[in-house]
Structure 1
Amino acid sequence: MKLELQLSEIEYLIKKLSRHSIEIKYVGYNEIKVINVKITIKEVHDYSVSLNYTLNWVANVLLKGAKCMIKKKLENILLWNTSKKEIYINFSHIDALKELLKIYHISTFEIRNNGLFLELVNL
């Protein structure tokens, strides 16, 4: 089973959750840029994905403020490790995917062609 989300759809979901607009730009295969934060896929697990990020000092200040706001809304979904510059997304805590992930697990997670692609396979 393959799921695809366009970056514009992700921008809309973020705006809906946080009431702030964010522009996400496609940089290249498995890389996107959010504000001034470059995000790269590091590792894919059965129910989660870990991402690396790099940022400049302006983005660092913005990220600290955003992290506090995001932490309350997405507490179990997004985990931040600022010392390692990693973001960990736990898909099993996303309501829309909970039931699906009882039957499937993540095989592939990619950023390409201005969208996120998630491939699920049977357990």
Structure 2
Amino acid sequence: MNEFIVVTVPAKVEGGVKSGITVQRDEVITVSASGRASYNGGVTYPDGTRFIEGKYSGAYMAPGLLLPGAPAGALIARVGSGPWLAVGSCQTFRAQDAGEVTVAYNDKPGQYGDNAGEYVATIENHGKI
């Protein structure tokens, strides 16, 4: 099995985008992403790096983010109703639960309205390897 799909992840969409890829526990998933988005004047990339007025300004670790401990603007993912995890520009992981893969822009709940742009994410299910 090697199933994959490409989805657009708008930075304005609170709660993320369901991918259409359903996985079983212990299957191996790779999420890779590209693109750029922005919030509150800063340009972000899937790995959570941020630029303000064209200058690198590091990762912004704001309190209250959907996934605390991951930078604002980073791409995050979850399987089913399991916990969010940081996937950034590329991450391979083993599913801890069964369910559909959801990908999202990491921001504070209720604060997605000032975001712009999008990431393009490829979600690949490698099966149980």
TM over 0.5: no
If each structure's helix is expressed as a fraction of its own residues, which one has the higher value?
1
TM-score by length of 2: 0.36
Structure ranking higher in strand proportion? 2
Where relative contact order (Cα < 8 A, 6+ residues apart) is larger, the structure is: 2
